[in-house]
Amino acid sequence: MVLAQLGGSISRALQQMSNATIIDEKVLNDCLNEITRALLQADVQFKLVRDMQTNIKKIVNLDDLAAGHNKRKIIQQAIFNELCKMLDPGKPSFTPKKGKTSVIMFVGLQGSGKTTTCTKYAYYHQKKGWKPALVCADTFRAGAFDQLKQNATKAKIPFYGSYTESDPVSIAVEGVERFKRENCDLIIVDTSGRHKQEAALFEEMRQVSEATKPDLVIFVMDSSIGQAAFDQAQAFKQSVAVGAVIVTKMDGHAKGGGALSAVAATKSPVIFIGTGEHMDEFEVFDVKPFVSRLLG
């Protein structure tokens, strides 16, 4: 189910409730069941959806609401708040400061959009007057360095990588050191991906992280991976200190549910979303406007 459909289904459920003359237990249950169905179809993890339903029922106790209360408003507000809570882990991620060096390490599976997202992130900050730099520590995928180099050149962002060095840790360290000397304030390290979660990848990530001591590790996730999102995000979080999530490919056939699951699994906020292949198809992610849009 694409995001727009999820939003449509939820607002339809709310509309149906609004059309009912009396809001009783049955109307509320019908509405919640409809929303549950929509969220599950959008690949939100079952446990998250169940918890949400329980919480709303706890908040909206129809017996306790005196006749004068606007039950529809209270229910709608409770649904809004619960969806926001799902997307808000309660603590903001590390925020780099312009003019002060920060090292940001990107992790994710191959094909998730990691390399593209590194450049988008650098470009976004460069437009705001930062001095970003890109380090390609992906020695696993043939062509990874060329891709990063091409993107970086197009955006006029300094980059570092090697065609001959096969040790990702030494490349990462050398790149970070060089750009620290050059007073870059946002040093972005792109790491290897793999087709699936495997021990070698996680070990490499751990080593790069230990050697470069990133201020923030960003987990990049393809929004179309569906129900696999929770486990995948959790596996990354267990290996490195993921502090933020970027969800890519929110254009096209994107499923919104994966974002909710990734937040739950990593206890980290989504900070940006990717909305296309181009450098500037990249948006800051804000929970409340996102949920408002979802509810229509």
Chain contacts with ligand GDP (rule: CB under 6 A) = 108, 110-116, 193, 248-249, 251-252, 274-277
Minimum gap (Å) between residue 47 Cβ and ligand GDP:
28
Which residue's CB is nearer to ligand GDP, number 130 or number 272? 272
Which residue's CB is nearer to ligand GDP, number 82 or number 282? 282
Minimum gap (Å) between residue 286 Cβ and ligand GDP:
17
Minimum gap (Å) between residue 246 Cβ and ligand GDP:
9
Which residue's CB is nearer to ligand GDP, number 92 or number 252? 252
Question: CA 284, 286, 287 angle in degrees (round to 5)?
Answer: 150
221/261 Cα distance (integer angstroms): 11
Minimum gap (Å) between residue 166 Cβ and ligand GDP:
18
Which residue's CB is nearer to ligand GDP, number 252 or number 296? 252
**Phi, psi values for residue 11, rounded to 5°:** -70, -30
What the block records as the tokens of 32 is: 């919640």
Closest CA to 135 of 208, 216, 202, 198: 208
Residues 6+ apart with CB under 8 A from 136: 144, 145, 148, 149, 159, 160, 161, 171, 175, 190
Minimum gap (Å) between residue 260 Cβ and ligand GDP:
18
CA–CA distances in Å: residue 129 to residues 98, 176, 183, 184: 8, 20, 14, 11
Which residue's CB is nearer to ligand GDP, number 115 or number 266? 115
CA–CA distances in Å: residue 16 to residues 21, 23, 30, 272: 10, 11, 9, 33
Which residue's CB is nearer to ligand GDP, number 8 or number 111? 111
24/3 Cα distance (integer angstroms): 29
Minimum gap (Å) between residue 63 Cβ and ligand GDP:
47
Minimum gap (Å) between residue 251 Cβ and ligand GDP:
5
Closest CA to 108 of 172, 193, 169: 193
Number of H helices and E strands in the chain, helices first, is: 11, 8
Query: Quick one: CA dihedral 80, 266, 34, 287, positive or negative?
Result: positive
Q: How many CB atoms lie within 10 A of CB 46?
A: 12
Minimum gap (Å) between residue 141 Cβ and ligand GDP:
7
Which residue's CB is nearer to ligand GDP, number 182 or number 277? 277
Which residue's CB is nearer to ligand GDP, number 198 or number 277? 277
Fill in the DSSP letter of residue 176: H
